[in-house]
Amino acid sequence: MPIKKCLFPAAGYGTRFLPATKAMPKEMLPVMAKPLIQYGVEEAVEAGMKIMAVVTGRGKRAIEDHFDISYELEHQIKGSSKEYLLREIRELIGRCTFTYTRQIEMRGLGDAILKGEPLIGQEPFGVMLADDLCTREDGEGVLAQMVRIYERFGCSVVAVQEVSREETGKYGIVAGERIDEDLMRVETMVEKPDPEEAPSNLAIIGRYILTPDIFRRIEETKPGKGGEIQITDALMAQAAEGKVIAYRFKGRRFDCGSIDGFVEATNYFYEKERGREEPKA
């Protein structure tokens, strides 16, 4: 079954970016002139997904407005030298459909994904955490790579990267049986373990392909780390049946949920875009 939908859990507060995120969704923080969530939508579209299912919360309306037409603004700049600045987002909006629902209470990533079920239905889907900004210079994006892995194995896929031992407490950590250099059949998954308890240093980053049985698994999942419903724990139920593949993706990932990662991403894209000429109006 082709993967047509991508779920964006976007209800979190973004407390690490206060006061910037007091009235603005963290997903709208820009790296260069583009909000984080737009990078995510572009990656999902590149992976062949056409329906963006966004789980939002209070104070997140700017996301909906961003993926809409702004008639007044567009009327104002029509025919001016600024018109090209909106061309990319206009094209993107034209290529996909956005659906929204709200997570009323913050009960964890697993719960946020479950809240997206009415938007997804009974089909496999992608999950994109927009504050993990991923880029690939010379080839397909991370989600597109994962779709191919899904097509091969037909089960859930998580993107992983190696992190230092001291950092295991920030991620879901996986271990299992290697299939080849970049693939592993997951046997164990632990949410944010202390370094001494971590089964490996392979960390899940914010890209998933999930089979729809995950929704029932989430319902059966008890609150875990931090008292929240963790997607890692729900995935562990699939992993126990050999139905989760970890994929060491090709490309770079910036942790834009942290100031350090955000600044790194900004520097990276600045270098990349510097010298790129502004198209003539």
Chain residues binding ligand G1P by CB under 6 A are: 109, 129, 132, 171-172, 191, 203-206, 230, 232, 257
Amino acid found at 159: A
Q: Do 44 and 128 form a contact (C-beta atoms < 8 A)?
A: yes
Beta-carbon contacts of residue 55 (< 8 Å; ≥ 6 apart): 7, 8, 9, 10, 11, 100, 101, 102, 103, 112, 113, 115, 116, 119
> At which residue do the structure tokens 């009415």 appear?
118
The C-alpha angle 55, 168, 250, rounded to 5 degrees, equals: 70
Query: Looking at beta carbons only, is 96 or 208 nearer to ligand G1P?
Result: 208
Task: Give least dist CB 87 to ligand G1P, A.
Answer: 31
Query: Looking at beta carbons only, is 221 or 230 nearer to ligand G1P?
Result: 230
Query: Looking at beta carbons only, is 96 or 256 nearer to ligand G1P?
Result: 256
Query: Looking at beta carbons only, is 89 or 159 nearer to ligand G1P?
Result: 159
Q: Report CA-CA distances (Å) from 75 to 28, 45, 65, 78, 237.
A: 23, 27, 16, 5, 52
Task: Give least dist CB 61 to ligand G1P, A.
Answer: 22
The C-alpha angle 36, 41, 45, rounded to 5 degrees, equals: 150
Task: Give least dist CB 129 to ligand G1P, A.
Answer: 5
Task: Give least dist CB 267 to ligand G1P, A.
Answer: 20
Interatomic CA distance for residues 185 and 89, integer angstroms = 38
Query: Looking at beta carbons only, is 141 or 257 nearer to ligand G1P?
Result: 257
Q: Report CA-CA distances (Å) from 38 to 8, 62, 82, 115, 273.
A: 11, 12, 19, 22, 16
Interatomic CA distance for residues 177 and 187, integer angstroms = 7
Task: Give least dist CB 12 to ligand G1P, A.
Answer: 7
Task: Give least dist CB 276 to ligand G1P, A.
Answer: 29
Nearest residue to the partner ligand G1P, using Cβ: 172
Query: Looking at beta carbons only, is 96 or 204 nearer to ligand G1P?
Result: 204
Beta-carbon contacts of residue 162 (< 8 Å; ≥ 6 apart): 201, 202, 203, 248
Query: Looking at beta carbons only, is 89 or 190 nearer to ligand G1P?
Result: 190
Q: Report CA-CA distances (Å) from 107 to 12, 220, 223.
A: 10, 14, 9
Task: Give least dist CB 109 to ligand G1P, A.
Answer: 5
